[in-house]
Amino acid sequence: MTLTRSYEFCRRLNARHGRSYYLATLLLPAWKRPHVHALYGFARYADEIVDSFTMTGDRAAALEDLTARVADALAGAPTDDPVLPAFTQTVRSFGIDHADIEAFLRSMRADLTVTRYATYDDLLGYMDGSAAVIGTMMLPVLEPLPGMAGQAREPARQLGLAFQLTNFLRDVTEDLARGRVYLPAEDLDTFGVEVADLGRRDPTPALRELLAFESERARGHYRLALAGVDLLTPSSRPCVRAAYELYGGILDRIEAAGHDVLRVRATVPRRRRLAIFARHLLAASAADRAERRVAVQTF
């Protein structure tokens, strides 16, 4: 597996399974995109083991095998895995913290055995590994401004949390089909919602109220993440702003539907996605040209 083929494999994974995210990556300078695809590809690869409706066999063994192969690849061992050559080169190139990778794999293992979370703090413990660390792994690729890496870390974590909580609200029925509920048990009790209500054809008034509460909780994570955008190098900001709007748009659709996520999966219409992309494209091009001019002047 050559690096070129591995990066292309990751790009195709991103394009197929993360349409909104992939669209936002097109706003990055060309040299950054393959590294973002590599990180996405790795996360998707592991997620497919624990979440696929079609995979047969021992998922725990498959995930442990992936964990061992990741450790070997990071140590420099050759691999014929389609994702790991690109992923490990990106990790080495940007000094990505191996602890973040380990935390992510721990949360993937949790998905094999944990189906409920008692409190939101418990859920945050899971999301720290499954989502917040994705933000911190992406951060070196997106390039914080000089001296701002420490300050940019928490907003990056918050954006990962915001994106995942948005996905949880959108995917209530899909997660239930996998035997999982990512809405905290104490919140279900507070609003008088039973797990069986998540499998109904029509949402109950209590479920709508619960989802409205969780939606506002997600908005809180988005607000905490927003300050981090200006801490990034200008050529990365349009990508992050577009992703912010695209995922936030899913929440908009959920709210516009009266928090009915049982009958229709909330998606941002294609025309809306393209409009967001087009609005940020000029800023992305201008920032990229400005950075190139500075490089030429420095040379």
Mean pLDDT of 27-53: 90
**46: pLDDT strictly greater than 60:** yes
| Consecutive H or E run containing 280 | helix 270-298
Residues 126-149 as b or e (16 or more Cβ within 10 Å = b) = bbbbbbbbbbbbbbbbbbbeeeee
What confidence tens digit (pLDDT) does each residue in 146-175 have?
Answer: 999 999 999 999 999 999 999 999 999 999
CA distance 27 to 23: 8
CA distance 260 to 200: 11
What pLDDT score does 299 carry?
60
Phi and psi, residue 185, nearest 5°: -60, -35
What confidence tens digit (pLDDT) does each residue in 102-155 have?
Answer: 999 999 999 999 999 999 999 999 999 999 999 999 999 999 999 999 999 999
CA distance 298 to 264: 53
CA distance 7 to 149: 26
What pLDDT score does 287 carry?
86
Q: What is the DSSP string of 119-157?
A: SHHHHHHHHIIIIIHHHHHHHHHH-BPTT-HHHHHHHHH
Provide CB contacts within 8 A for 82, sequence distance 6+.
1, 5, 6, 9
Q: Is 58 helix (H, G, I), strand (E, B) or coil?
A: coil
- At 294, list the tokens: 């500075």
pLDDT over 70 percentage in the chain: 96
**27: pLDDT strictly greater than 90:** yes
What pLDDT score does 52 carry?
65
What pLDDT score does 57 carry?
65
Q: Is 232 helix (H, G, I), strand (E, B) or coil?
A: strand
CA distance 183 to 122: 11
Q: Which CATH class is domain 3-298?
A: mainly alpha
Yes or no: say if 254 and 261 are a contact pair by the CB < 8 Å rule: yes
Q: How many CB atoms lie within 10 A of CB 41?
A: 28
What confidence tens digit (pLDDT) does each residue in 83-99 have?
Answer: 999 999 999 999 999 99
What's CA 42's distance to the chain center, in Å? 11
Q: What is the pTM of this model?
A: 0.93
Gyration radius of the chain's alpha carbons: 20
Mean pLDDT of 206-224: 97
Alpha-carbon dihedral sign for residues 229, 26, 80, 77: negative
